[in-house]
Structure 1
Amino acid sequence: MFVHKINEELSLKLIELRDAKSIFKLTNQSREYLREWLPWLDTTTKIEDTEEYIKMSLKGIAENRSLNTVILYKGSHVGVAGFNEINWSNKTAYIGYWLGEQFQGNGIMTEVAKALTDYAFSELHLNKVEIRAAVENKKSRSVPERLGFVNEGCIRQAEWLYDHYVDHVIYGMLAGEWMVQEETQEGRR
């Protein structure tokens, strides 16, 4: 089992079928909260739906076109994050994430997105990382903004969310920008 330790309390591990029960439980506990911005809650109504998602994730990992992980905080499953897609032709990864409602406000997702971005550049040698979020989803948008991602624009009606379309803001970070930013932060310490 691959585990990437971020700090003493936080780590990422590759998603596995044995995670289905705890991920489904977390989904149920945060269902109404997550439903505001995630389009898959109404089709994830039983543990088998979560198992299918995990199987799809494992296939993406095996085919080297995605990389989904479980977020572990103080040893507990608290969310899912990873590269929803890796485009090797363009050397770009697209980060997606969600966190259980009770774990919001601890800086978890910012640290997770930072670790994934660093991994994309230092280990996968990609050129760009993108994060997309609904224009009105201020919590999700704050993650790339805190990390210094560039707001590259808005895609109108980018996603159907149950009964309406939402616009997405695209945030991007280039490998060269990340290196300069990290060196600057190191110099301040």
Structure 2
Amino acid sequence: MKTTAPLLQLPVATDLYLRRATPADAAALYYIIDRDRPYLRRWLPFIDYSQDVADTEAYLKYVTAPTNTSDMVFVIVHEQEVCGLIGYKGIDKLNKKVEIGYWLAEGMQGKGIMRRSCQTLLSYAFEKLRMNRVEIRVGVGNDRSSNIPKKLGFTLEGVQRHGEILNGHFHDLEIYSLLRSEFNG
């Protein structure tokens, strides 16, 4: 009989934790995406490509595949309910850098959930993954999202012009970074 290792779970607060995502999370995540589609679509390019649970499941299979060593994705669980996704994109072990990406259900905004979740991933990146640099990229004008790296002590390095296609148009991205030497975990 094959046994599986328990999923990595990172405590954030008594009512909040991050758990490694699995394809089994597809239905819960898709429910949020579909319910909050108009809100999420303003800043997240993938929303238009997530049209059913199968699309979300395909994404989760990709990011959790054993051959994918550049991504590590977690569901955000608040009061025992999945409310968003956060994770590392482009883990670069050679250059010791990584990007954090995230999204949160509209109704869960303004509770400090994402800031605290990012703080936990920062600690894990610097202490366990031994990264030297963490980046967060935010669409210009997405003030709620850009407040997160600002509150966590990141430096705004500049704007990447036409950094992504959002709703059929090029959109600029703010590039924030935090170095291990600047981290006050």
TM-score bracket, shorter-length normalisation: over 0.9
- Give 1:7's match in structure 2, choosing from 5, 9, 13: 13
Shift of 1:62: 4.7
159-168 or 117-126, which deviates more: 159-168
Q: How does 1:55-94 map to 2 (within 5 A)?
A: 55-59=61-65, 62-94=67-99
CA distance in structure 1 between the aligned counterparts of 2:161 and 2:23, rounded to whole angstroms: 36
Report the residue type matching 1:90 in the other structure.
N
Q: How does 1:18-97 map to 2 (within 5 A)?
A: 18-59=24-65, 62-97=67-102
CA distance in structure 2 between the aligned counterparts of 1:160 and 1:18, rounded to whole angstroms: 29
1:154-189 deviations in whole A, cap 9, x for unaligned?
1111111122111111000000111xx34xxxxxxx
**Greater fraction helix:** 1
CA distance in structure 1 between the aligned counterparts of 2:164 and 2:67, rounded to whole angstroms: 27
TM norm structure 1: 0.92
CA distance in structure 2 between the aligned counterparts of 1:140 and 1:171, rounded to whole angstroms: 11
Tell me the residue number matched to 1:151.
156
Shift of 1:66: 1.2
Shift of 1:97: 0.1
Note the residue ranges of structure 1 that are not aligned, 5 or more in a row.
183-189
Report the residue type matching 1:14 in the other structure.
R
Report the residue type matching 1:46 in the other structure.
D
CA distance in structure 2 between the aligned counterparts of 1:62 and 1:112, rounded to whole angstroms: 26
Report the residue type matching 1:88 in the other structure.
K
Q: 3-state DSSP class of the match of 2:45?
A: coil
1:67–1:85 contact (8 Å) kept in structure 2: no
CA distance in structure 2 between the aligned counterparts of 1:62 and 1:73, rounded to whole angstroms: 30
Report the residue type matching 2:19 in the other structure.
K
2:62–2:68 contact (8 Å) kept in structure 1: no
- Structure 1 residue ranges, 4+ long, deviating more than 3 angstroms after superposition: none
CA distance in structure 1 between the aligned counterparts of 2:84 and 2:126, rounded to whole angstroms: 23
- Give 1:140's match in structure 2, choosing from 138, 145, 148: 145
Q: 3-state DSSP class of the match of 2:26?
A: helix
Tell me the residue number matched to 2:3.
none
CA distance in structure 2 between the aligned counterparts of 1:74 and 1:129, rounded to whole angstroms: 28
2:23–2:61 contact (8 Å) kept in structure 1: yes
CA distance in structure 1 between the aligned counterparts of 2:23 and 2:90, rounded to whole angstroms: 20
Work out the percentage of aligned pairs sharing the same amino acid.
35
TM norm structure 2: 0.94
